Amino acid sequence: MRIRKTPRRSLALAAALAALPATVLTAPAQAAAGTPPVDFVELPASPLPPGHATQAITVTYRNSSPADRTVAPQILIESPEDGPFLDPASIRLDLLSPDGQWCTVPLASQTGTLYTQLIPAKLVLHGHHTLTEHYRVTVVAAAPVQGTVEPRVALY
């Protein structure tokens, strides 16, 4: 009976792979879940629409590289510099889903900025493909609200 020896390099590689967290070995969008973006692509900003009006926002980003890239579209809604801070309950943000339905996107708030979460928005954009997402923002507050809508795309 022949006994086959496993080279030490293979054993060391197997041990190293076993020690890695499972997220490292999964799809790029999942692997990058806990890592911060390396850059942002800022898209043109616009003022919030007047009370109870709806404004369309289109986020478009082209991956000009041949390699796949993890990206996440994000909408920021900035309060005026002189205040008052915007309240998430004053603004409704909707995203057009692939099946043509508008879905409300929750807004978080930090120091006068309302924003959409990055992690749920992450996706892998294949090389030389374009991401296009359609949003609509509506001011639902009774009192006049001022601010700026700033779309961007996070790059991982």
Residues 58-105: tens digit of each pLDDT? 999 999 999 999 999 999 999 998 888 999 999 999 999 999 999 999
pLDDT at 142: 77
Q: What is the mean pLDDT of residues 144-153?
A: 93
Q: What pLDDT score was predicted for residue 2?
A: 37
Q: Are 88 and 114 in contact (CB under 8 A)?
A: yes
Check residue 73 and give its pLDDT.
Answer: 98
Determine phi and psi for 17, rounding to 5 degrees.
-65, -40
The whole-chain average pLDDT of the chain stands at: 82
pLDDT at 33: 53
Does 148 have pLDDT greater than 80?
Answer: yes
- pLDDT above 50: residue 48: yes
